[in-house]
Structure 1
Amino acid sequence: MTAADPAAHELILNVNILHSGFLPSAWRVPGADPYAFADIDHYVHIARVAEAAKLDAVFLADNAAIADQIKYRSITALEPTVLLAVLAASTSRIGLIGTASTSYNEPYNIARRFATLDHVSRGRAGWNIVTTADLASARNFNRDDVPEHAERYERGEEFTQVVKDLWDSWGDDAFLGDKASGLFADTARIRPIAHAGKHFKVQGPLNLPRPPQGHPVLVQAGASGDGRELAARHAEAVFSASISLEEARGYRRDLHERAERHGRGPRSIKVLPGLTTIIGATEAEARRRQDELVELIPWEYSLNRLAGTLGIPASQIDPDKPLPQDLPLPNGGRGNHTFFHATLAAGRRTGYTARQLVKELAGGGGHRVIVGTPEQIADDIEHWFREGAADGFNLMPDVLPDGLQAFVDGVVPILQRRGVFRTEYRGTTLRDHLGLKRPERRE
């Protein structure tokens, strides 16, 4: 792919398979299967619906602990790369993006796991790089507290570079399989990386050939300065949490400027804000659906989630008043900066009470929520895309699978008719879909 390729300028649409759906009450609606969060058939069905609509990728989040209130909602439970291997065998074109933490893994394992996924999917893998910030995960990995924010990103930076070096430890032409000469591989084209850094010592090489895409696509999510720097150095797509168009445009511009300072092209990073859709045949019907879903969320769940995002006790939040002002970063700066800033921005922009804000955020999740008809949803998406606020979106339908079905049946055809979204895949790899170049091997 080159910069002149049409795919480099097309709207990108991924679907974030958040078990039963983005709304915490999604598992409670009529027809929903409460066990879908651990049912492989549920995920296969969603991936096939997305592929039939020519979406770019499915996206899987991950937690290394029970990070949500399992008393009230289903959770992210299945390990992403294992699940994506099944989805690779069940689909043929759609991209497969999985989350893996740099805080509680080793570079060699992650390099091998995603290289394997890229091979078995024939070039459709992507790695979403996260630096895990929750205390429950830390305690599952022999730590009493979350590492300092700067330490997490310092480790994440070194981790990511080691993974890339391991993917480059084989030349593209290193595998020979020459029966006549008896040479299986050209060992002159396979090298150790001999990495010795502050956090890792990794000899290499990787024990399998270079991935079909050279590198699986590197995805990242982070709004802090450290997070943006990690993205500027390495990410090819960023999963962001922008509530307003102006904020999103500024965030995208900042990432492009940072990438340029690191010697990368200004358009080398695709910015994909999270977007929750609640769709009805009429706006009134969509609003009713929103009201019904929000009413099914226990207030205790919403209050605890909002308090956890802000890093304050639930007792400090008055449901009928706006959010407290001048809040410090959660957990002494160790917590998740992205959703903290997004939630505060939404509260300040609207002036809503905490109770109203929970409804606006469809349960307090921190991502933008749009409610309306397929035409209204398409108008909003096209506006953000054409205004330079986003290269596309990570879709988080309210309920799965029917919220996704409503999107692909109603919204996708409108975007296709307007020439904003593809009608057919142009290539076979995730890089083809996203308009990204295959990276040259770093010698």
Structure 2
Amino acid sequence: MTSTDLHDPGREAVRARVAAALTRSRARSTALTDAVDDDDLVRQHSKLMSPLVWDLAHIGNQEELWLVRDVGGREPVREDIDNLYDAFQHSRASRPGLPLLSPAEARGYVRQVREKVFDVLDRSPLEGRRLLQDGFAFGMIVQHEQQHAETMLATHQLRLGAPVLHAPEPPRAVVPLPEREVLVPGGEFTMGTSTDPWALDNERPAVGVHVDAFFIDTVPVSNGEYLAFLDAGGYDDERWWSAAGWAHRQKAGLVAPRFWERAEDGWYRTRFGVREPVPVDEPVVHVCFHEAQAYAAWAGKRLPTEPEWEKAARFDPATGRSRRFPWGDEEPTAEHANLGQRHLRPAPVGAYAAGASPLGVRQLMGDVWEWCDSDFHPYPGFAAFPYREYSEVFFGGDYKMLRGGSFGTDADAVRGTFRNWDHPIRRQIFSGFRLARDAAPHEVR
């Protein structure tokens, strides 16, 4: 391949997109780790999370493995640390006991790796191997870093001490609010994708899925609505809970969303070191699947299934096609969704009218991950790529699906087809939910 071929306009556009995404993801990782001192970086703030310094070096190690060694064919930078930063070799709880790189060593390591990666990017043909096509390997690493940035943000939420992160307030809701629920018509739609260049293996291939007509709420469940469940004794009434959910509620002593506490003058929450009254107009966050399911039963509804959620988010009844995002195929902007840690909280329910789906459903992207009542399984025709450990090893576990991203999810790491999953007891993640219900025959037009 000649130098002219290597730098043709199409490849240069991909190269520019990759470079910008790499730069943005590193700026975020740096900000999250520079916000605290070295003692905080090496401390484990929860056994559910790694020390922040582990996440930082792990980001560099994955980048080295895939972009420096595989794509670039270069000599290893630090082959001796591969085992330390293999997420499958060491549980999160055990990582503080490993001989990890110090904060200074980790920062130097990721800088060295990144310098080599930009040289690899400049020389890569961005074609010839599936891993290179449309910059997939680089996009995979960008998404990996942004996913760990959201994990580090969750670690910041768990740390004790004075606030160290700051951001402007999100936009207010546009009034009047949309209708409470809308009908999603029954029929087949295209779920997943075979064409999105940076889509990961569990999003592939695109499949036709039939969904019966159903109603879905136009906004997520708010804190104010969830407070009504608490006031009604929802946590003490076994009727609303599944058997597994009730057993977990009792074992874990759940009484409210995580980070909430009751005071004489009402409910308060702690958010990134700030103690504040629970804002009634924001989507509820830091609830597990069992809590979401119990609330839905109390409210006389249910959680949407994963196919229902994706149809509500992507299906355009006017054209019959599935969009990349609820608002269309264009990349998210600050007008569409609360993404990228631009704000350090969900926006009030009803915000982001510009991001609504064709049916009028808002905030499907960003703000809070939304629990779906579906297990994690592959689509028909699934093929692991480029490694089994991203998706395949998790199929068939007790995982429940989460869709749509949160205020801590970057735009490069989410889309209408993106699939997240976690154990149904997890609450440290930025998880909320919205409700759905079956459509009665007389309600189907």
Same fold (TM over 0.5): no
TM-score (norm 1): 0.26
Tell me which of the two structures has the higher relative contact order, counting C-alpha pairs closer than 8 angstroms and 6 or more residues apart: 1
- Quick check: which one's helix share is greater? 1
Give the alignment's TM-score, normalised by structure 2.
Answer: 0.26
